[in-house]
């Protein structure tokens, strides 16, 4: 788990011994619209904001306490969740976003934790809001 202050520096500041669990959800923004027009399938498509939502549970530390100020100010932060596999296999989930919600302190087996909901937000400097990088042992796709 990494938290940085710019897209260019994403993946530079690791937050160790903090991430308990996470979930990552992509909302495409497209929704089929059905009308009473005689069709059995959808007749139109509505388009809402495309975004990624990441829910993380973090052990409560002094660094995590500082994220509350970022939540209150809606400061744009840059997050990376990295999964390492064997033989140079890796999955990076990168996100430019704001902390939409910051839960009250909770208890998990004697440890204080908080749950954050992070929602992607377009970064004009980095010209991205999220990306997924998969590194595998295959030099080219078949």
pLDDT of residue 88: 79
pLDDT mean over 60-80 = 96
Half-sphere exposure of 105 (CA within 13 A, CB side): 9
- Measured CA to CA, the distance from residue 47 to residue 56 in angstroms comes to 27
- Measured CA to CA, the distance from residue 84 to residue 26 in angstroms comes to 21
Per residue in 113-139, pLDDT tens? 999 999 999 999 999 999 999 988 777
Please give the DSSP secondary-structure letter assigned to residue 128. B
Question: Where does the pLDDT of residue 48 fall: very low under 50, low under 70, confident under 90, or very high at 90 and above?
Answer: confident
pLDDT of residue 136: 86
Burial class for 69, CB neighbours closer than 10 Å (0-12, 13-18, 19+): exposed
pLDDT of residue 139: 74
Question: Where does the pLDDT of residue 108 fall: very low under 50, low under 70, confident under 90, or very high at 90 and above?
Answer: very high
- Measured CA to CA, the distance from residue 31 to residue 69 in angstroms comes to 35
Of 120, 139, 137, whose CA–CA distance to 129 is shortest? 120
State yes or no: pLDDT of 39 exceeds 90.
no
pLDDT of residue 106: 96
């Amino acid at each position: 788990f990494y938290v940085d202050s710019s897209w260019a520096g994403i993946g530079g500041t690791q937050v160790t011994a903090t991430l308990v669990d996470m979930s990552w959800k992509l909302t495409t923004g497209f929704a089929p619209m059905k009308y009473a027009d005689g069709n059995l399938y959808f007749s139109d498509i509505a388009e809402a904001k495309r975004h990624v939502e990441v829910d993380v549970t973090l052990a409560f530390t002094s660094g995590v306490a500082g994220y509350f100020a970022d939540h209150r100010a809606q400061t744009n932060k840059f997050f990376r969740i990295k999964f390492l596999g064997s033989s140079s296999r890796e999955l990076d989930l990168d996100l430019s976003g704001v902390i939409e919600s910051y839960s009250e302190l909770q208890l998990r087996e004697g440890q204080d934790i908080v749950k954050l909901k992070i929602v992607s937000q377009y970064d004009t400097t980095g010209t991205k809001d999220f990306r997924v990088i998969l590194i595998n042992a295959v030099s080219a796709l078949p």
